[in-house]
Amino acid sequence: MGLPELEVRCWTCWGNGVIPVEDHGQMMECPECSGVGWIPTEDGKRLLAFLQRHLAVDADEEEQ
Ligand SMILES: [Zn+2]
């Protein structure tokens, strides 16, 4: 048993998180993945939502 595929390498920057700006020789944050370099799949999004939900609950409990 294994986890489903949770993320795929960003097809715009190929996992670098940045893409070259034409004519300037500089790099800019990849707009496709927001500089992360990886795109969550549907399964990945569900896991992220799960984590955020439960991490948020834990954080609230710690503050009290
Ligand atoms: Zn990207």
- For residue 64, how far is its CA from the centre of ligand 1 (angstroms)? 38
Q: Within a domain: residue 13? A: no
For residue 59, is it within any domain?
A: yes
Distance 41 CA to ligand 1 centre (A): 14
Rounded to the nearest angstrom, the distance between the alpha carbon of 26 and the centre of ligand 1 is 15
Residue 61 lies in a domain: yes
Q: How far, in Å, from the CA of 1 to the mean position of ligand 1?
A: 30
Would you say residue 19 lies in a domain?
A: no
- Domain span holding position 63: 38-64
Q: Residue 3 is inside which H or E element, if any? A: none
pLDDT in tens, the chain (64 residues): 677 899 999 999 999 999 999 877 899 999 999 999 999 999 999 999 999 999 987 666 665 5
CA 54 to each of CA 19, 21, 32: distance values in angstroms, whole numbers, following the listed order: 34, 39, 27
pTM given for the model = 0.67
Could you tell me if residue 31 is inside a domain? Answer: no
Count of structural domains within the chain: 1
* 60 to 7, 11, 55, 57: CA distances (angstroms): 28, 37, 9, 5
